[in-house]
């Protein structure tokens, strides 16, 4: 069973890597072993979802070769390259209006956004940058606004009692992040959300693998030996 799981995982990785995709690309693939056959379902979409290709593929489990790569080559012949789409996800007008109201009535001026939380561990390591509170005490260039999920709202208000904390719909949150001078986030869903909507996001890495989960759009910072960057190091980077 373990061998079958590893084989399927390798096929899925081969497919995504050959399409030059990452965790933010509109690519889906599922491989499974059934009755000594490897059965694969694969899907690639344009960023707006208007164009897509999907197919199924089957081969003997004992066969060698690279079915993930072979399937990716077939997709590439359809001229639907995931690397060709450089547009960001659009935000509906109602959410834009709500976001503008929040910026005008609550934020009132230039601001940056922090997204200080991340769910789950990566190989036993916490993905959250450990210096958020210290950073917020030392950063003075513009107002800091925290954008968090509903489940993290109470925690954030407790951690940052003097900060404006926002928890809203995905689209409204995305608009607030997009209009910020910059967004600082852990390697998290919030980082990828900001990236996909075109925000000026900087991912703070130190526990996860940058080459696999870096933001699709934006940049990232990491300290020496791939540890988390220090507060002084980040402040220096932001001022350069």
pLDDT in tens, 164-179: 999 999 889 999 999 9
CA gap 3, 143 in Å, rounded: 52
How far apart, in whole angstroms, are the C-alpha atoms of residue 219 and residue 13? 23
Contacts of 49 (CB under 8 A, 6+ apart): 26
Q: What is the dihedral of CA 20, 24, 25, 29, to 10 degrees?
A: 90
Beta pairing, strands 125-126 & 121-122 = antiparallel
CB of 176 closer than 8 Å to CB of 103: yes
Q: What is the C-alpha to C-alpha distance for residues 20 and 16, in angstroms, rounded to an integer? A: 6
Q: Can you list the residues of the chain whose pLDDT is less than 70?
A: 1-3, 20, 22-24, 46-51, 64, 75-87
**pLDDT for position 5:** 78
DSSP classification of residue 83: G
Q: What pLDDT does 83 receive?
A: 42
Of the candidates 126, 159, 139, the one whose C-alpha atom is nearest the C-alpha of residue 227 is 126
pLDDT of residue 82: 43
**Across the beta sheet with 201-204, what order do the strands follow?**
164-166, 143-147, 111-115, 183-186, 201-204, 219-221
pLDDT at site 81: 44
Q: What is the pLDDT of residue 192?
A: 87
pTM over 0.85: no
Q: What is the per-residue pLDDT across 207-220, written as a single tens digit (0 to 9) for each?
A: 888 877 888 788 99
Q: What is the 3-state secondary structure (H, E, C) of 129-143?
A: CCCHHHHHHHCCCCE
Q: What pLDDT does 136 receive?
A: 97
Q: How far apart are CA 95 and CA 62, in angstroms?
A: 52
3-state secondary structure at position 149: coil
pLDDT at 84: 41
């Amino acid at each position: 069973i373990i061998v079958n799981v590893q084989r399927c995982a390798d096929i899925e990785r081969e497919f995504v890597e050959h399409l030059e995709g990452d965790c933010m690309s509109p690519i889906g693939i599922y491989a499974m072993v059934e009755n000594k056959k490897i059965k694969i379902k694969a899907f690639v979409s344009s960023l707006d979802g208007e164009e897509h290709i999907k197919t199924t593929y089957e081969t003997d489990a004992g066969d060698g070769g690279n079915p993930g790569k072979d399937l990716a080559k077939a997709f590439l012949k359809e001229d639907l390259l995931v690397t060709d789409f450089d547009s960001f996800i659009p935000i509906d007008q109602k959410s834009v209006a709500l976001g503008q109201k929040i910026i005008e009535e609550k934020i009132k001026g230039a601001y940056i956004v922090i997204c200080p939380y991340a769910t789950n561990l990566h190989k036993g390591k916490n993905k959250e940058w450990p210096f958020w509170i210290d950073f917020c005490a030392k950063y003075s260039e513009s107002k800091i606004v925290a954008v968090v999920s509903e489940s993290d709202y109470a925690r954030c208000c407790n951690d940052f009692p003097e900060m404006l904390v926002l928890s809203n719909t995905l689209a409204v949150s995305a608009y607030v992040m997009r209009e910020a001078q910059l967004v600082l986030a852990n390697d998290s869903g919030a980082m990828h959300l900001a990236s996909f909507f075109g925000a000026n996001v900087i991912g703070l890495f130190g526990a996860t693998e940058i080459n696999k989960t870096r933001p699709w759009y934006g940049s990232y910072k990491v300290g020496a030996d791939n540890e988390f960057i220090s507060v002084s190091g980040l402040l220096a980077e932001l001022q350069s």
